[in-house]
Amino acid sequence: MRSDLQIREIREKDAADIAAMERDIFPDPWTKRGITETLQGKNTVLLGAWKNGILTGYVILYYVLDEGEIARIAVESSCRRQGAAGCLFGRLKDICGDRGIKRLMLEVRQSNTAAISFYKRYGFTEDGIRKAYYTNPCEDAILMSREI
């Protein structure tokens, strides 16, 4: 892991910062309330990456039994391609191992070639397409998964 990044579980006090990043990054941002409710969920993992005390990225995972779905993974635009997502993913894999999660799944916009490339680099394969899954704009989702 990079020495200038701190990876830790997200706390309720971090919800406003996550919501702000959501608004900056996604056309369908989660609200602070939605993030807080997710934090209170039983089968969730929320991890954040901080650099010099400032949130630079996060990942949100839901899981049931031995399968997990990455609902969100995001890195602040000025911090991309510097290893934060890889550090988050590495820590997430450790937690999945601890909780008996053996398979990870996700959806990604078909046009998000940078994310698709990242996921493939970390062992995800394409499983199919979900037509018109995203709105604003309307776009297909590529379904991806990997074994842990």
Active-site residue flag, 134: no
Residues 98, 125: Cα–Cα separation, whole Å: 23
Give the global pTM: 0.90
What pLDDT is stored for residue 61 in this prediction? 97
Domains of the chain, start order:
5-147 (3.40.630.30)
What pLDDT is stored for residue 3 in this prediction? 64
Active-site residue flag, 107: yes
DSSP letter for each residue of 24-88? HH-SSPPPHHHHHHHHT-TTEEEEEEEETTEEEEEEEEEEETTEEEEEEEEE-GGGTTSSHHHHH
Q: What is the pLDDT of residues 67-92, one digit of tens each?
A: 999 999 999 887 788 889 999 999 99
Catalytic residue among 119, 133, 134, 139: 119
What pLDDT is stored for residue 101 in this prediction? 97
Q: 3-state secondary structure string, 91-114?
A: HHHHHHHHHCCCEEEEEEECCCHH
Catalytic residue among 12, 107, 126, 139: 107
Residues 14, 8: Cα–Cα separation, whole Å: 11
Q: What is the pLDDT of residues 131-141, one digit of tens each?
A: 999 988 899 99
